[in-house]
Amino acid sequence: MNSKIPAPVAKRLALYHRCVITLLESGKELVSSNELGERLSLKSSQIRKDLSYFGGFGKRGSGYNLNYLKESLENILGINRPWNVGIVGAGNIGMALANYEGLLRDNYRVIALFDRNLSKWGTSVGSRRIPIIPIKEMCSKIEELSIEIGVIAVPAEYAQSIANRLMECKKIKGIINFAPVKIYVKNVDLEDVDISISFKALTFKIWSESLGKE
């Protein structure tokens, strides 16, 4: 059933969710696939098709009820309930994520930072006072705090070994990898957030266009 869903659909669903929230905040109650498509630079038929994988959320003649669509998308994306998140690496990126309110808004609760640097142990971060915990205690804390998502925010050379240790924690169901390196996982889901690749993809575009003009 789920095996037939094209890979790019999940990210577009998240895009729809974001847009639906904006539309709701502006006081709207209905949206057509056409308007959604214009706002997101997507074809309306693609939006209807994406949504139809999960059932019919719309009403012929009028469009999609925004409240119902929002709730449906949250069910599909799994954010109708909170997820406990642990960040490994209390460096620049780890700290920025811990303080990032957008996550909490989407029901992702960062409740622990793990670091190997003993000078950071025992301190806490941000207004929510997220504790920094020694990496040695990572697995037991993940168990104790029911952390299901691990975020890798350590330098590239440590990323795989951290991933291995996260996979040993039975509670961990998914990993988000910010380290600029490919990591290999088993029995957990993985998403990469690739900052350096985005920069390179950008200069590739700039560069190839400037060559075309010559």
DSSP string computed for 22-84: HHHHTT--EE-HHHHHHHHT--HHHHHHHHHTT---EETTTEEEHHHHHHHHHHHHT-SS-EE
- CA–CA distance from 138 to each of 27, 171, 172 (Å)? 44, 12, 11
Q: For DNA, give the closer residue by CB, 65 or 99.
A: 65
For DNA, give the closer residue by CB, 33 or 177: 33
Angle (CA) 154 78 104, round 5°: 55
Class of residue 57 by CB neighbours under 10 A (exposed 0-12, middle 13-18, buried 19+): middle
The listed partner (its own copies, DNA, none) that binds 27, CB under 5 to 8 Å by sort, is none
3-state secondary structure of 189: strand
Residues 176-205 that bind its own copies (CB under 8 A): 176, 180-182, 184, 189-205
**Is 138 an interacting residue with respect to its own copies (CB under 8 A)?**
no
Q: Which of DNA, its own copies, none binds 45 (CB below 5-8 Å, type-dependent)?
A: DNA
Q: Which residues bind DNA (CB under 7 A)?
A: 6-9, 31-34, 42-46, 48-49, 51-52, 56-64
103 binds its own copies (CB under 8 A): yes
Question: Contact at 8 Å (CB) between 16 and 73?
Answer: yes
Residue nearer to its own copies on the CB measure, 71 or 192: 192
Binding mask 58-87 for its own copies (x = CB under 8 A): ------------------xxxx---x----
Asked if residues 183 and 177 have their Cβ atoms less than 8 Å apart, the reply is yes
Q: Which chain residues interact with its own copies by CB under 8 A?
A: 1-2, 5, 10-11, 13-15, 17-19, 22, 39-41, 76-79, 83, 92-93, 95-97, 99-100, 102-103, 106, 108, 148-149, 173-176, 180-182, 184, 189-209, 211-212
